[in-house]
Structure 1
Amino acid sequence: MDNIFKKRIMRRIYAIYILRKILSRTAFKIYIGAALLYGIKVFVNITAVANNMPKWSDTIGLYNFMFYSAMNTELAAQFIIFGFAAFVIWIVKDTIKSIFARAKYIF
């Protein structure tokens, strides 16, 4: 009887632990990143973009290409492109914040 009770309690503890890991902030970022990357895969033809893109040394041409290619796509692709840009900014902001939070304890 005691063993059955212990197993039932441990199952609940494991379930709560797994739910916390699945619904954590880091997992949420991974889910968003995966969804945006999948959206890019579906809506953007990466090989065509790479073939039409000017050389990396031509910065003005590269800027114009990126700007006009983002503005002249479908609305879904625009949402995904700008969503991915916002996602990258969010990740960089959190990384910088965590670096400075750790540096406070070091010095």
Structure 2
Amino acid sequence: MAAIYHEAANAMNNCTSSIIKVCETTHASSQTMDEAGSSAKAVGSVIREISLARSEQALASQNIAKTVEVLAQMSEENVAARASSNAENLQGMSRELNQAGRFFKA
């Protein structure tokens, strides 16, 4: 009978050791899951920052495109104004040459 009690006590000790190991493993797994959750939150935060930066860049690109369009329009207007001014100057010079030519014809 003593042998049966001794064997039962050994089995209980082995079972207790196994339960302790399971508890330790469960605790370690819980810590790992907490770390994974923190990492996932950090990745989510970085993704939101990237998305915001992308939106800001898109807006800046649109503003740059509008500014380039305005500059191109101003440049075209400037070229047109110079052409008109040059035409007026040429017409004025033509009149002066015609008047000078009349002086020599007379």
Scaled by the length of structure 2, the TM-score of the pair is: 0.31
Which structure: larger Rg? 2
Compare the two structures and name the one with the higher helix fraction.
2
Scaled by the length of structure 1, the TM-score of the pair is: 0.31
Bigger relative contact order (CA 8 A; separation at least 6): 1
